[in-house]
Amino acid sequence: MIRTRVYRDGVCSAEDFDPKKISDYLGDSENVVWLDVCEPKENEFALIAEEFALNPLAVEDALQGRQRPKLDHYSDHLFISLYDVELDQASGALTSSELAVFVSPRYLITVRQDRHFPIEEVVQRWDGAHHLAKHGSGFLLWGLLDVVVDGHFDAVQLLDDEIEGLEDILFDDKPHGSEVQRRSFELRKSLVVLRRVVLPTREVVSALMRREMDLVDETLMPYYQDVYDHVLRAADWTDSLRDLVSTILETYLTIQGNKLNEIVKAITSWAAIAALPTIITGYYGMNVRLFPGANTLAGGIVAIVLMVLGVGFLYVTFKRRDWL
């Protein structure tokens, strides 16, 4: 799957044209070309790499995938690796889609490893800010980064909502079994994955703001600064949520330990209460009748009174000490 666009004088002058015409458009220095390739095969992408004179090392990274978010400098272009993320709220798992980007003042090439990357959102972002299109490939790269970082920020917000849900059931009287532990583990694992994506992306945006290859001019700088602010907030928020999940799990274990202590106190108290009647009835049930009132109604009444008074005394005592 290949998509194409060409911008000239800040206007999209052609779209979805035959890739064979790329050479013609690149021949005009006023044109900026966008080429999007999804799930390319090595032999197919070799033609594109030759057309744009892409560095073989960058091409290898783009085709093999599983790169960390990074920015590599080559003689006439940059290679950028990015990840879009999406949270499955049902399971708490975080999925990612890798994107390789080749960018120079004359073109922007995006290589998607799968179809999950929201390339349509990127196109809509470009169309929504068409007044910036005259700034060339720097504008195209900004729209791409803005969508990617917004995805990171949305994932962090969803994770925050899920963690708030954990906080709500933390002190709930209803039993939740291992739900809190399982959910905490899943969310923490997702936060670790997200942190591995967000932190390097912050460095990528920061490097681009240093006016690398003159891609970011004075007009685009505030837009890149806004993207950097979002990715910085996402990184800080991710670290805060990791600590919060750990705190929630520790609090849950502490609560369970306290509940266990309460249960043990209650069981011990009731066992003590039950032991008193057992002692009295055992004493009065001895074969040797050495106590007053043996084998009489009065003796039975005394035994019952002693049991009632003893049980009542123990119950009140344990209740006052908050053991029951």
For 156-210, the pLDDT digits (tens) are 999 988 888 887 777 776 766 677 778 888 888 888 899 999 999 999 999 888 8
Domain with 103 in it: what CATH number?
Answer: 3.30.460.20
Task: For the beta carbon of residue 228, count every other beta carbon within 10 angstroms.
Answer: 19
Both 124 and 214 in a single domain? Answer: yes
Res 27 pLDDT > 60: yes
Instruction: Quote the mean pLDDT of the chain.
Output: 84
Amino acid 140: pLDDT = 94
For 52-103, the pLDDT digits (tens) are 889 999 999 888 878 899 999 988 899 999 999 998 887 888 889 999 999 9
Do residues 14 and 5 make contact, with C-beta atoms less than 8 angstroms apart?
yes
Both 148 and 115 in a single domain? Answer: yes
Alpha-carbon torsion angle 91, 196, 157, 184, nearest 10: 40
Both 53 and 183 in a single domain? Answer: yes
Which of 213, 235, 256 is at the close of a domain?
A: 256
DSSP per position, 61-75: HHHH--PPSEEEE-S
Helix intervals (H) in the chain: 22-26, 42-52, 56-64, 119-128, 137-170, 179-208, 221-284, 297-320
Both 178 and 76 in a single domain? Answer: yes
Both 150 and 267 in a single domain? Answer: no
Judged by DSSP in three states, 44 sits in: helix
Tell how far CA 127 is from the center of its chain: 29
For 184-196, the pLDDT digits (tens) are 888 888 888 999 9
Least confident range from 111-125, 130-144, 230-244, 269-283: namely: 269-283
Both 195 and 56 in a single domain? Answer: yes
- Structural tokens at position 121: 């959102």
Amino acid 34: pLDDT = 93
Residues 268, 28: Cα–Cα separation, whole Å: 89
User: For residue 310, what are the domain limits?
Assistant: 263-320
Both 303 and 216 in a single domain? Answer: no
Which of 205, 232, 256 is at the close of a domain?
A: 256
Both 179 and 90 in a single domain? Answer: yes
For 218-228, the pLDDT digits (tens) are 899 999 999 99
- Structural tokens at position 316: 């009140």
User: Which pLDDT band holds residue 290 (cuts at 50, 70, 90)?
Assistant: low
Res 307 pLDDT > 80: no
| Mean pLDDT along residues 300-323 | 76
Both 163 and 290 in a single domain? Answer: no
- Structural tokens at position 36: 């999007």
Do residues 101 and 141 make contact, with C-beta atoms less than 8 angstroms apart?
yes
Least confident range from 106-110, 194-198, 204-208, 293-297: namely: 293-297
Both 70 and 179 in a single domain? Answer: yes
Residues 216, 10: Cα–Cα separation, whole Å: 15
Amino acid 292: pLDDT = 63
Which of 256, 282, 297 is at the close of a domain?
A: 256
Amino acid 312: pLDDT = 82
User: Which pLDDT band holds residue 285 (cuts at 50, 70, 90)?
Assistant: low
Both 87 and 217 in a single domain? Answer: yes
| Mean pLDDT along residues 281-308 | 67
What are residue 110's DSSP bridge partners? 36, 101
Both 179 and 310 in a single domain? Answer: no
| Mean pLDDT along residues 9-38 | 88
* Total structural domains within the chain: 2
Amino acid 324: pLDDT = 66
Residues 131, 13: Cα–Cα separation, whole Å: 14
How many angstroms separate the Cα of 28 from the Cα of each of 23, 99, 117, 272, 286?
9, 28, 31, 95, 114
